[in-house]
Amino acid sequence: MDFQAWQPYLISAAVGLLVGVEREKAHPQGEALGVRTFLLIAMLGSLAGGLSNIWIASALVIFALSLIVIAYFYTSRGIGADQGLTTEFAAGIVFTLGFVSHTNPIITTLLGPIVAVVLFSKASLHRFTSRIKTSELQAALLLLLAA
């Protein structure tokens, strides 16, 4: 087998590892999906995307989405638990990137690290949004609408 056949799986594995490491570092208490789970989700997406049988691929998509929903309810069951969907949403994106890695490996290669950077930049993004004044936001929106 040549490299072209393995390329989507290798790209998916790299994206799953990258995002999984970030999630594990962001939640060191083990309360969120971690590196192993993200690697497996990426590989499952790549497997589903590479199948020619639409029914098996659809079953894998439903299976992956079901696991992500179960993970959300499992991690948010505690009193005062963070009800955020960021990790689960990231898992869905990683699965999707794995799925499209066969048809668009460049998209997976570009968007995977962007997802990891967005997740890693939580504090910076929250600081940025807290410093924006309402008038500045309104001016930016008007500028965008005019453009």
Q: What is the mean pLDDT of residues 109-118?
A: 94
What per-residue confidence (pLDDT) applies to 83?
A: 62
What per-residue confidence (pLDDT) applies to 1?
A: 65
Per-residue confidence band for 129, with pLDDT thresholds at 50, 70 and 90 = confident
13 versus 131: the higher-pLDDT residue is: 13
Contact predicate 64/44, CB 8 Å: yes
What per-residue confidence (pLDDT) applies to 42?
A: 95
94 versus 25: the higher-pLDDT residue is: 94
Q: What is the mean pLDDT of the chain?
A: 87
**What is the reported pTM?**
0.82
Using CB atoms within 10 Å of the CB of residue 105, give its burial: 0 to 12 exposed, 13 to 18 middle, 19+ buried. middle
Tens digit of pLDDT for each residue in 37-96?
899 999 999 999 998 898 988 998 899 888 888 877 877 665 455 567 888 889 999 999
Q: Which of 82-91, 100-109, 115-124 is predicted least confidently?
A: 82-91
